[in-house]
Chain A
Amino acid sequence: MMSVLSPWQRRLGVGAMAVFAVAAGLPAAGLAQSETPQMGGSLVAVIEGEPTSVDPAFDYDFVSGLATSSITEPLIKFCEGDTQLCPNLASAWTVSEDGLTYTLTIRDGVKFHDGSDMTVEDVVFSLDRIRDPELGSYVGWMLDSVADVTAPDDSTVVITLSQPDALFEYALASTAAHVVSKAVVEAAGADYGTPSVGSIGTGPFKFVEWTSGVQQKLARNDDYWNKEDGGPYLDEITIKILPEPTTRVAGLDTGEIDYLVNNVPSDQYATVEGFDNVNLTFAPSFYGEWITFNTQEAPFDNVKVRQALNYATDKAGLRALYWPGTPDTKATLVYPSMWTFEQDAWQAAWDVLPAYDQDLEKARQLLDESGVADQLNGMTISYYESTPSMKGIAESFIDSMSQLGITIEANKTTYQENIAQQFGNHDDYDIFVGSWGSDFPDPSGNLRPNFGSENIAAGGSNASAYSNPDVDALLVEQNALVDKAERAKLLIEAQALIAEDSPLISVSNPGWPLAVNDRVHGAEIGPLWYWASLFKDVWVSE
């Protein structure tokens, strides 16, 4: 019976139950598992590459966070399906009217793994450290609008911004606001976070060892400050490094892998579904895959060409092939999962957004009207196979274009070229298959990086080189606002303008896969799982 449901439907089913549970005032975990959590046991999780560091300052990828976010913790955290913010090391926080001053109450009685108390000095040190350009933190930009961090008393930290920043609050739930021990970091110097030194935090698990290229080991922190609402339960967590997708799938089957988040290969969902001992579920994401081109260069500066290419792409076919059951996309990167505020307004806007469903006739007609269709002939589509679907998108696009009598050639790039293309000068590709996922539960996290003209220059992520002064004005204006209804209005306006311009072909909004062995309970992820402490409430039945 299970196999009749697609993984996506199952997830929706689970989601619906969770909503029901909250409405009925029942603990959500109670519905998912009737058994009581057991203490002890160990778990093997797998990541696809060597982590960068266990220092939160350098955790800005999909592999470092499993360990890092179990060891150190942020001041506040994402909650309720990663759509809201909840207290964490800061038990409360307030924002001033002008949006410039954040006052945080730091929790009392929290201890680092070495037994020392976490103090406001540690908090101020941690934030200042991330902001310090000398450190070169990968998440330093998140605190760009911070002017000053102070500790007026033993339990208060005040952060002052230089300008209002609608996204700043979210940074406090990211690795940019993880609290490290001042004494430990200063003693370790440049080696902090490397395999030889590791890291010390307040989190549910302690760093044990890290064998380069092989695995990281964590052990339970018995003195964890927040044991009332659950774990940590597990004695030990081993995070193994395994780059080969097929071997990861084999490891799930043989039971050697207990926990696989995100790196379940997307073209093997059906296979994993078939394993008796594995549960595969999906969390909604803010992540999407798409096709784009430099909209300032011919022939892509012609809106008819852009719309024609959008109509030519078999988005529904690709979604059915790689992500059966995922929601349809429309001509926007603000997916329904990202409507974290003013949901009704976003829904109403969505209803009238164009979807550019595949229509080769329309594409042909638009190309004829444009009069520059012949310039497309012989162009290349660049992609990097970070997931099998990226290649699938490129190949399907080539196939669709050939049906329009246009030859497009594939240009499979390496990781480095891909990075250079997406974040370089945006002039070294014809057509580009890319992906993006907001780091915050906020629609602007997908709109501004991809469509704001300030992100066209080298280092920026506007791979369409899309520049529309009206859109820019709206995106900048909303960022300085505190009123969410007003922000939503401006963002929706920008979204409509972008959809009409068709600078990018939105193909999919795949969910995040989570595959766990039967014996693993309490494993849950949200759209921002890579910022989350994933193992706190996880337990295993032997």
Chain B
Amino acid sequence: MAGYAVRRLLAAIPTLIFVSFVTFGLVRLAPGDPVLIVLGGKRISPELMEQLREKFGLVGDPISQYLAWVGRAVQFDFGESFKLRQEVGDLIVARLPTTVELIAMSVLLAILLGIPLGVLQARRRESAVDYAGSFVAFIGVSSPVYFTAIIGILVFAVWLGVLPAFGSGDGPVDQLRHLILPAVALALGMIALTSRMTRSAMLEVLTSDFIEAARAKGLPERTILVKHALRNALIPVLTVISLQVGFLVVGTVLVESTMGLGGLGSLITDAIQNRDYPVIQASVLLLTVLFILLNLFTDLLYAVIDPRIRYT
């Protein structure tokens, strides 16, 4: 399994090169002088502008600029943010925990709410519960994150006053309270997809022969449902969840700035807005790495859940 993981990671290298090259190309094709933008109308002498260009590695042809960037990036040196005057590495390290917490909480919500809902729907197929669940799922999948986030603030913070409107809170309990609204807004679509996927996977498994056999053996329904059916249904569900985490990462971009959470998402949106090349390049690359690792993690998890799957 270790060999498999290593091979997968090696195979990711061309992808990373591709992604970093495209990102590099796109930010540099964009019109406007980044130095002028960073300065935002601040009065600076032409000599100083030239000096900044040099400092930011904006001199020379784009290809050598890119190679210079790659050369430093492989040593984990991502340069200094144009705008924020800090090392990009430091910035990312400072911002990452918030985003990871947000995503972890959303995934947790999706698992804790989505899977039981799907199992329930599958068991009571075509009952009122099933229809209601499907309906809720459709609403969940169809809600724009930025809309639900704002409506959430309006309802739970302003009208009902039960949850904080924004920010990240002090101390674990307070932090958790602050994470509820953004995580729910973010997780809504994922909860819906997870329940849909669980439902259909469960239906498939429940009609299969070995479940019939288990029933015939007189095993209690609960054991059949959880130990046999769910276990087998989990693989497609996990696939959907892990694929969804990729979307969550993007969702955080929209939720973080709305909710005043200083995570990676808001760092990236600000960076794109300010044409902060080093931050854009490093964070897009980081997200891609996360995405790749996540996929690998899912594949390895399959083997744990289903002993029939082996990677060599």
Contacts and interface: CB of A to CB of B under 8 A. Distances in A.
Nearest to A417: B32
B236 interface: no
A417 B31 contact: yes
A163 interface: no
B308 interface: no
Given A241-B260, A242-B167, A416-B273, A422 B84 contact: no
B48 interface: yes
Given A141-B44, A240-B167, A213 B273 contact: no
Nearest to A194: B86
A243 interface: yes
Interface centre among B30, B40, B95, B257 (most CB of A within 10 A): B40
A348 to B, nearest CB: 33
Contacts of B209: none
> In which size bucket is the chain A interface?
35 or more
A411 to B, nearest CB: 13
B153 A214 contact: no
Most buried by A among B32, B94, B165: B165
A415 B262 contact: no
A61 B32 CA distance: 21
Contacts of A136: 44, 48, 51-52
Given A52-B85, A419-B41, A213 B274 contact: no
B36 interface: yes
Q: Is the interface of A mostly helix, strand, loop or mixed?
A: loop
A247 B166 contact: yes
Contact of A250 (B34, B40, B157): B157
Interface string A244-262: 1011001101101000000
B42 interface: yes
B199 interface: no
A256 B95 contact: no
B158 A253 contact: yes
A448 to B, nearest CB: 12
Given A195-B86, A241-B260, A247-B153, A256 B94 contact: no
A193 interface: yes
A212 B40 contact: no
A247 B263 CA distance: 17
A420 B31 contact: yes
A58 interface: yes
A532 to B, nearest CB: 19
Nearest to A142: B43
A459 B46 contact: yes
A254 B95 contact: no
Nearest to A252: B165
B90 interface: yes
A49 interface: yes
Given A49-B270, A213-B95, A459-B36, A251 B44 contact: no
B85 A194 contact: yes
Interface string B262-280: 1100110010011100000
A459 B32 contact: no
Nearest to B84: A50
A133 B47 contact: yes
A112 to B, nearest CB: 22
Contacts, number: 143
A139 B153 CA distance: 39
Contact of B45 (A133, A139, A420): A133
B40 A246 contact: no
B150 interface: yes
A322 interface: no
A424 interface: yes
Given A52-B85, A244-B257, A420-B36, A213 B161 contact: no
A131 to B, nearest CB: 12
A458 B37 CA distance: 12
B298 interface: no
Given A213-B266, A254-B161, A247 B259 contact: yes
- Size bin of chain B's contact surface: 35 or more
B91 interface: yes
Interface in A117-141: 133-134, 136, 138-141
B95 A250 contact: no
Nearest to A244: B258
Contacts of B263: 213
Contacts of B44: 136, 138, 140-141, 459
A420 B166 contact: no
A49 B164 CA distance: 20
Interface string A21-61: 00000000000000000000000000001101100001011
Contacts of B51: 133-134, 136
A294 interface: no
B275 to A, nearest CB: 5
A422 B85 contact: no
A268 interface: no
B167 A256 contact: yes
B33 interface: yes
B165 A213 contact: no
Nearest to B165: A250
B168 interface: yes
B34 to A, nearest CB: 8
A348 B292 CA distance: 71
B41 A423 contact: yes
Interface centre among B49, B94, B167, B260 (most CB of A within 10 A): B260
Contact of B266 (A243, A256, A419): A243
Contacts of B34: 416
Nearest to B259: A247
Counting chain A CB atoms within 10 Å of each CB, which of B39, B86, B261 scores highest?
A: B86
B239 interface: no
A60 B98 CA distance: 28
B154 interface: yes
A513 B98 CA distance: 31
Contacts of B258: 244, 246-247
A250 B37 contact: no
The 6 tightest CB contacts between A and B, nearest first, are A213-B262, A242-B260, A214-B262, A141-B43, A212-B94, A416-B37
Interface of B: 30-34, 36-37, 39-49, 51-52, 83-86, 90-91, 94-95, 98, 150, 153-154, 157-158, 161, 164-168, 257-263, 266-267, 270, 273-275
23 contacts: A50-B270, A52-B85, A53-B85, A60-B42, A136-B52, A138-B42, A140-B44, A196-B86, A212-B95, A213-B262, A214-B262, A243-B260, A246-B150, A246-B258, A253-B158, A254-B157, A254-B161, A254-B165, A415-B37, A416-B37, A417-B31, A417-B32, A422-B41
Given A214-B167, A214-B261, 4 more contacts: A212-B90, A213-B98, A422-B41, A423-B36
Interface of A: 49-50, 52-53, 58, 60-61, 133-134, 136, 138-141, 193-196, 211-215, 240-244, 246-247, 250-251, 253-254, 256, 414-417, 419-420, 422-424, 458-459, 461
